[in-house]
Structure 1
Amino acid sequence: MSILLVLFGVTFLLKKTEVIRPAIGLGLILTPIIYFYLILEAHTLNIPFTDDYNLLETIANFRKETDFVKSIEILFEQVNQHRFAFERIVMLIMVFITGTINIKLQIFLGNLFMLGILYLFFATFKKEQISWYYFIPVPYILFNLVYYENAFWGIAAIQNTPLIFFAFLSAYGLSRQDRKGWIIGLLAAITVTFVSGSGMLAWIIGVIILFLQKEYRLLFQWLAFAAGIIAFYFLFDYYFIPTNGEKPWKHPIFNTIYVLGFFGNGMYLDIPHPSATSFYKDMILCVLLGAMISVVFFVWFLRIIILPKLQWTYWYLLGAFMFVMGTGCMFVVSRPLSNYLMFGGSIFSRRYMIFGVVIIATMYVAMIILAKTFKTARISIAFIGMMFFLVMNGLSYFMSLPQMRKQYEELSLDGFYYKNFATFLTTGIHFGDIPFWNHPTRMKELVTLVEKNGLSNLYESDLFPPHQQVLKQTENRREKYKGKVDVQIEFRENEQVIPPKSIHFLAGEQNGVKPSYFVLVSEKYTLLLPALPKPNSFSAFVKTKNYYDRLYQYTLFRTKLPAGKYELWMMSEKGENSGQWESKFTGKKIFLY
């Protein structure tokens, strides 16, 4: 990537190299996109995760329902304040074509909508007749792992990225100011309403755009459709969830800062943010970036008011700005703060960062258009944007790949944990916790239903015998594990206020053989924990040119392990991809009480 960037710069200095500039520019655009999808392919599994099971259940219920009205109720079934009809329709199409639901394919399809968002930005440059070279930085901010939850979680992938795409498509359609565009905007607005609750913002944005365009006839038609869709949304089999929390206007300063932090959440680093008595630096940057985005939006809005004649690009970017900023306002209204955002705590999930990166891209495109007639300013914005986006892109992969790897390995063990202990490794604070508030039968009935209907392969994903047989079938008592092994107690402060005591397992390779699992064996339990390669520090990464160390580790909160006396074994694969396992005793014993 850096080589391509240097070569691209050289083509502006050496006239003889101009001929290869388009090819290098295209390579710069494609590189982050291809790398992003390759990372997705390597780090995703066809195994449901938490709320995925809820959607799978409704698909199973829909398929066996024969009454039309009840089928519609299932299709539009409420989840919190949302109606996930779009997600269910996508899954039903998948079932119709393939006979099952492939979560990995679902994740890939959801993330493909980012290409649609990218294209709308490209079309904006093209309409403004700005060289496509200024477009090169945009893929670097859109295709990264800042929002990695959307990259491994089925429902998040099929919700958040399509949500933004259809909202932007609606604004794009209305911006064209013709009948065909209005129909595109209308259909996109209807779709986005049933992707997520915040999709209803598309109707409000449509009203604002059509009013400012003075398209009053189309505005009244828009309002009529909006009234019908919103009436259906709230009157058809809907219940209002009461909220007893504080109102955002009770602390206007704190919540204004909060909403600015949401706008700039692309700067929210993938590090723990437990509640503190001092400000986190990255969260200060979130607020400052959010303030900058707000200023650019204000300038953009003023130009729309002042300029007598506008390209459709102005209306489109206005809609893009308003949707993400409106989503941020809805987010703050639903969970207001009574203190400074920068003190940390349970604030943002990584999936919300997708809104942050998209609005950064929107701001960049708007700034390039604002500087259209000022060549020096335009080049400066492009150069600074490229450097900033490149650093953010690289930093997101460097910091978040271990989280992707951890989720991948833990998810691959969920089948083992559920079959043996009716719990998941990926979910819950305590050993034995299950989704849906630890209801005694809810999860069991749900898993049985989706497995029986062939919609999930949770059981099939378990590659191990019953936990009592794991050691009997894999043990090698003739020799001990000769690699380095250590167990440490750590105290990890966290946003979820989980008791901080943690168990940290560490192991090295044995004669070049990589450990795959830490195996805890007691009279009652045999527990498998993934041995994850330890990421190098940045300095070690630069020195060795290797992302991972040759050590393997796993850390989990003490509450995720049941009490008991355990022997620690290491399990490795006999030969690469052989599917045969061998466990060796480390000589270490652990007492948990």
Structure 2
Amino acid sequence: MRLLFNTSSARGQSVAGLLIALPIAIWLWALLRYAVDVVYNDDYALLTFIARWHNPAVSWSDRFADLVALHNTHRIIYDRLVSLASYYLTGQINFVLMIWLGNLALGGICWQLWRGFRQLGLPAWYFLPIPCWLFSMQSHENMFWSMAALQNFTVIWFVQEALHQVHKRAPLGWPLLLSIGAALTSGNGVLAFLIGAILLVSQQRRDRTLWVWLSYTVVALILLLVIFPAAHERTPLLGWVPNLFVVLGSAFTNETTTTIPLAGGALLTTAIGITALFRVTRFGAVGRRLRQLPGLPEWLAFGLFVIATALLLAMHRLPDELLRDRYKLYAHLMLSLVYLVGLAVAGPRLKVGWALTGTLLAVVMNAIAFHACLPKIIGGFQQRQADAFNFRTNATTLAIPYLRSYTDSLLTSTQQQHIYTLPNPIKPPAAWSVTPSTDSLLISSFQDDFIHNSFLGEHPCYIEIDNQTVAHTLATGTDKGMYITISDKQQHTYLFPASPGKGSIRDFVTGQGLFKPGFAVSFLSSRLKPGLYQVKLLRITPNGYQQLGAGQPLDIQSVY
């Protein structure tokens, strides 16, 4: 610790750099281990776009219409352009390439905050909380989902860089281009124009710069909100403020409870609001110190973007969606901004305490998020692997019946046209060795009497297969390679992921493992045709494929 505080020492700076790089290195390790080139969820929209673009029968006017079309409530022109670049550069659409490009934008976000931090003239170790918050596994939905990575990380980076250029009084061409890029990346990107205008007004410019920016802002608002509006469903007005706080405090929980996020978000929002008030009024020594901080207007403008985005989520997302991990990046950004402002206003004696407190909080939050979210990351990885195996082996991904015809026909068509080919990560059953095992699988069925929709049907029936003894470990690779195999009489074999569950915090802290023994697999019974199946466990390790047990019967018809 003394070496770390000895900032004049080259070794001290090196130690600080290594500590800052550690959460980023863990992030990169997870990407290298679990990112795969398998289409997932809304990525099918990009695959459909490329398939139509590839089709010579589609006119150029229709292709352009596809390029600018809304996806749900977002304009994802940037995502589509990147998918086109991938298609033309590599000959096929490549989802791993897009995942990495999206994650690079997160690096750009961190770099922007680092650039602002350096203006404080503090030792490098004071910056450690920022990468611990930004490179948190709570953002795993953005990490491994190519459309989410391109959209959710990049729009923030574009807005952040645009506001930085406006704050630095750079020529308007570059920040306008970045703002346009943000508006064409995600729905909240249009905020770059509005907040940029507020920043320009605060600079009291008297030249034509403000009027040029306002002209572009008006055009952008008319185009995006009037001529080509997105249809939104709004939540009740009384829920907007508490929902806003839940979004901004969502990093404080890995569960579904809203009490702690609500309190945390209110505290962080209040801190930014008081900072802005003190700077405007120049109240006391703190206000005068804030006025002397050159980077504060940029931080406050960016904080306004974060709060405005959280408000949009509060207005247009249901309460149970607000704690989705894809949105927690905004809570991480708010934490980072409040921490940086605290460093700026704290006196010399308080700075070290503030930095140590922030570092301890950030490190603990990062470690707990790793423990809580790694099983989810593995579950998504195994699902993608199973999708690739099932399609290559049986010409189906076993999507729910509502979507199966569309997804299977799209994958077949794109594979035949060499637009996209699913990888072959798991060898066929002929390469599996049958291994005797006493591990038993408990098979049961249940109905969800609360669901009735066009996707799943009325009171859908689920199959659950669980085991309480199989171990998952990172060292043996079984975290990646544990699946349920279900085979019919025609020797068609289907895979379902047997993902690990998170172990106890005590076991994690004492180094006894990340995962608890066993697993529980649930799937909609209608994913399989009625009939009699044999169920086994497949364990994939670096030493080979082990299909465990003699098999247990599963009669799909008996569950209706």
TM-score, normalised to structure 2's length? 0.85
Q: Are residue 568 (structure 1) and residue 509 (structure 2) matched? A: no
1:223–1:500 distance in 2 versus 1, CA, 3 Å: farther
- Name the SS for the 1:454 alignment partner: coil
**Range with greater deviation from structure 2 (140-149 or 72-81):** 72-81
Amino acid at match of 1:589: P
Question: Which residue in 1 is equivalent to 2:348?
Answer: 375
Separation of aligned partners in 1, 2:168 and 2:223: 28
The structural deviation recorded for 1:333 is 1.8
Q: Residue 385 of structure 2 corresponds to which residue in structure 1?
A: 412
- Residue 506 of structure 2 is matched in structure 1 by 539
Distance in 2 between the 1:492 and 1:535 partners? 26
Q: For residues 356 and 500 of structure 1, what CA distance do their matches in structure 2 show?
A: 37
Name the counterpart of 2:251. 266
Distance 1:544 1:267, change over 3 A: closer
> Following TM superposition, by how much is the alpha carbon of 1:52 offset from its aligned partner in structure 2, in angstroms?
0.6
User: Match of 1:147, SS?
Assistant: helix
Counterpart position of 1:353: 328
Between the two proteins, the alignment pairs up a number of residues equal to 534
2:76 is aligned to 84
CA shift for structure 1 position 564: 4.4
Q: Residues 300-319 of structure 1 correspond to what in structure 2 (within 5 A)? A: 300-307=275-282, 311-319=293-301
Of 309, 321, 334, the match for 2:303: 321
Q: Distance in 1 between matches of 2:78 and 2:94?
A: 16
Q: Which amino acid aligns with 2:53?
A: F
Structure 1 pair 262/235, CA: closer, same or farther in 2 (3 Å)? Answer: closer
Alignment correspondent of 1:110: 102
Secondary structure at 2:138 match in 1: coil
1:18–1:475: structure 2 CA closer, same or farther, 3 Å change rule? closer
Contact in 1 for aligned 2:70/2:230 (Cα 8 Å) = no
Mean Cα deviation higher: 538-547 or 83-92: 538-547
1:248 correspondence with 2:236: yes
Does residue 451 of structure 1 match 2:411?
no
Question: What amino acid sits opposite 2:421 in the alignment?
Answer: N
> 1:505 is matched with which residue: 454, 462, 466?
466
In structure 2, the partner of 1:277 is none
Q: 1:79-478, aligned counterparts within 5 Å?
A: 79-179=71-171, 182-216=172-206, 217-233=208-224, 238=228, 240=229, 242=231, 245=233, 248-249=236-237, 252=238, 254-269=239-254, 271=255, 273=256, 280=257, 283-307=258-282, 311-335=293-317, 345-371=320-346, 374-418=347-391, 424=397, 428=400, 432-434=401-403, 440=405, 442-458=406-422, 460-461=423-424, 463=426, 470=429, 474=432, 476=434
Whether the 8 Å contact between 2:142 and 2:148 is mirrored in structure 1 is yes
Q: CA deviation at 1:287?
A: 0.9
Q: Please give the per-residue CA displacement for 1:484-506, whole angstroms capped at 9, x wherever unaligned.
A: 22315598999999979661322
SS of structure 2 residue aligned to 1:146: helix
Q: Establish whether residue 61 from structure 1 lines up as the match of residue 36 from structure 2.
A: no
Residue 422 of structure 1 deviates from its aligned partner by 6.4
Deviation digits for residues 502-531 of structure 1, max 9, x if unmatched?
Answer: 613226479x99784322234476432234
CA distance in 1, matches of 2:292, 2:447: 54
Deviation per CA, 1:203-258: give whole Å up to 9, x if none: 1101111112112432210011223334444677x4x4555x56532xx2x33111
Once residues 91 and 515 of structure 2 are traced to their aligned partners in structure 1, the CA distance between those partners, rounded to angstroms, is 39
Deviation of the 1:43 alpha carbon: 0.7
CA distance in 1 between counterparts of 2:205 and 2:369 reads 43
Helix, strand or coil for the counterpart of 1:456? coil
Structure 1 pair 369/559, CA: closer, same or farther in 2 (3 Å)? farther
Q: CA deviation at 1:557?
A: 4.0
Give the match's secondary structure for 2:553: strand
Letter in 1 for 2:219: G
Change (3 A) 1:205 1:534: closer
CA contact (8 A) 1:483 1:509 kept: no
2: CA distance between counterparts of 1:561 and 1:221?
56
Query: Is the deviation greater in 532-541 or in 62-71?
Result: 62-71
Mapped partners of 2:322, 2:273: distance in 1: 26
Q: What is the deviation of 1:548?
A: 4.0
**Matched residues, percent identical?**
21
Q: 1:377-430 CA deviation, whole Å, 9 max, x = no partner?
A: 2222211110110011001111111111111111111133346666535x54xx
Question: Structure 1 residues 200 and 394 mapped into 2: Cα distance closer, same or farther (>3 Å)?
Answer: same
Letter in 2 for 1:485: S
What TM-score comes out, normalization by structure 1 length? 0.81
Aligned counterparts of 2:144 and 2:4: Cα–Cα separation in 1: 39
AA matched with 1:443: T
Q: 1:124 Cα deviation (Å)? A: 1.0
Write the distance in 1 (CA, Å) between the matches of 2:260 and 2:477: 44
Report the residue type matching 1:386 in the other structure: T
Structure 1 residues 19 and 224, CA gap change in structure 2 (3 angstroms): closer
CA contact (8 A) 2:247 2:322 kept: no
- Among 518, 521, 527, which residue is 2:487 paired with? 521
**Structure 1 CA distance for aligned equivalents of residues 447 and 123 of structure 2:** 49
Give the corresponding residue for 1:485: 440
Task: After TM superposition, give the deviation of residue 348 of structure 1 in Å.
Answer: 3.1
Cα deviation for residue 570 of structure 1 reads 3.1
Query: Structure 1's 233 and 383: CA in aligned 2 closer, same or farther, altered over 3 A?
Result: same
Q: 1:503 to 1:365 in 2, by over 3 A?
A: same
Contact 1:141–1:389, Cα closer than 8 Å, also in 2: yes
Q: Which amino acid aligns with 1:187?
A: L
Aligned to 1:568, the other structure's residue is in SS state strand
Q: Distance in 1 between matches of 2:546 and 2:200?
A: 67
The answer to whether the 8 A contact 2:477-2:542 is kept is no
Residues 58-106 of structure 1, C-alpha deviations (whole Å, 9 max, x = no match):
1333344685544432321221232211112222222232222221121
Contact 1:266–1:353 (Cα < 8 Å) also in 2: yes
- Alpha-carbon shift at residue 482 of structure 1 (Å): 2.1
**1:276 matched to which residue of 2?**
none
Aligned 8 A contact 2:4 2:13 in 1? no
More off after superposition, 91-100 vs 286-295:
91-100
CA shift in 2, pair 1:11/1:328, >3 Å: closer
The 5-angstrom pairing of residues 47-58 of structure 1 reads 47-58=38-49
Partner AA of 1:357 in structure 2: H
Contact 1:484 1:509 in 2 (8 A): no
**Alpha-carbon spacing, 1:95–1:413, altered in 2? closer, same or farther (3 Å):** same
SS of the equivalent of 1:517 reads strand
CA deviation digits over 1:336-357, x for unaligned, max 9? 6xxxx5xxx4443221111211
**d(CA) in 2 for partners of 1:530 and 1:386?**
37
Gaps of 5+ in 1: 1-7, 274-279
